[in-house]
Structure formats: C-alpha cells, structure tokens
A = this chain, B = another copy of it.
C-alpha cells in the first residue's frame, strides 16, 4: 500500500480543510500527523524554512498536497507545529534535568541537555533561537510563554547555585541569560564533523563556569 493511500483515508467526515472540530483525533490520525511533521522537518532542514514548500513536504511523503490539508492548515501552521514540538521537547528535557537536587549537578545537567538538544536538532533549534516567524495571532504569546518557561528554569537553577555558593553572587537574571546565550548559539557554529561530541562542548561551558573542577580537565 502506498503511503499516499494510507495517508488519505484517515478521516471519515470532513468539512473543508482540516480535521472536523469536536472530533477526537484517532491514534492513526495522530501517527500520520507525526510522520508528516517528521518529514516536514527533514524538508525544511534541507531547503530552509523559507524555501521549503508544502509541495516539497507532500512530495517527500509521496502524497498529494491536498491530503496534507487534513493535517495542517498552511505552511505557517506546519512551521508553528514544528517550533512548538521542538520547544516542548527541549523544555521536557530541561524539566527533567531541573529535577536534579544538587545545584551544581543541576546546572551541569541543564547545560548538557540544552547543548545536546541543540546538536540533535540544529535546523529546528536554529529557528527556535531567534528566527521564529511572527504569527500575528495567539501563537506568538504561546511561544513567548515557552521562552519564559526556559528562562525560569535556568533562573531558578542560577538562583539556587548562587545560594549554595556554587556560582558567585551575581544578578540571577543576567546569569540565566548568559548561560542561555552560550547554549542557544551552539547551533550557529556547531559542526558535527568537527565537533563529534556535543557533551565536550557542554563540559567546556561547565568548566568555564567553574562547575567542573579544574583538576578533572582535559585539554581538547
């Protein structure tokens, strides 16, 4: 069975574009939507967000563009879904790292999670880090809330590290933004061939912040 046929028979009732309202999406529908997002990410990674089109995404899935409209309402809608997923996945990793009780270990875990996420998804996070489109609707506020969530996680970690004497007595917000600046720009210069181990980058950052003691250092 071609993926086109598989992707086009997921819904029984449709009015115009998109999944009908008030209908709980089936597991099948959600799985297909996941596949579409995954392929779209690959297309945009290869072509760039601006150059990549819904036609390209449809072609990569071997389906008709019209079929895509059962899952996304527009290219901008697709891009918004990709950003939201990338940010949510990143926040989930940060939340997990933030559960580390020890303030020093927590900061190291947060830096590692952030850098690793950047290295894993350079194209998605490239957008997330400063190049997010303006949607001119409620989605902008949603993304700003996610930004604030990330800042809050880092700020809490910095505050606890300062209180524990792990970091010097710095302004907490400036400290959080310094760390976010470090880790959120990795995707701009990271090169998988030159930098095969993202954790080496994270550990350099941790060493620079004196989170890892000097006597454990190895010169890269």
Query: How distant is the Cα of A188 from the Cα of B178 in the complex, in angstroms?
Result: 12
Copies of this chain, whole number: 2
A90 to B200, CA, bound (A): 30
Chain B nearest CB: distance from A31 CB in Å?
A: 35
What is the CA–CA distance of A174 and B208 in the complex, to the nearest angstrom? 10
Closest CB in chain B relative to A150 CB, distance in Å = 12
A: number of interface residues (CB 8 Å): 34
Residues of B within 8 A of A209 (CB): 208-209
Q: In the complex, which residues of chain B have a beta carbon less than 8 angstroms from the beta carbon of A171?
A: 200, 204, 219-220
Least distance between A70 CB and chain B CB atoms (Å): 32
| Chain B residues with CB under 8 A of A153 | none
User: Among the listed stretches A39-47, A76-84, A162-170, which one makes contact with chain B, having 4 or more residues with CB under 8 Å of it?
Assistant: A162-170
With the chains together, A181 CA to B130 CA distance in Å? 13
- Check A217 against B182 for contact (C-beta < 8 Å): no
Min Cβ gap A148→B in Å is: 11
* Chain B neighbourhood of A178, CB < 8 A: 182, 204-205, 208
Q: For chain A residues 166-207, which have a beta carbon within 8 Å of chain B? A: 167-171, 174-175, 177-178, 180-186, 188-189, 200-201, 204-205, 207
A210 touches B130 (CB 8 A): no
Are B181 and A201 touching (Cβ within 8 A)?
no
A16 CB → nearest B CB, Å: 29
Q: Of B130, B170, B201, which contacts A208 at CB under 8 A?
A: B170
A214 in the interface, Cβ–Cβ < 8 Å?
yes
A131 at the interface (CB under 8 A from B): yes
The answer to whether B130 touches A174 (Cβ under 8 A) is no
Contact, CB under 8 Å: A188 / B130: yes
What are 12 A-B pairs at a CB distance below 8 A?
A: A130-B185, A131-B131, A167-B208, A168-B207, A168-B210, A169-B214, A169-B219, A171-B200, A171-B220, A174-B204, A175-B204, A181-B181
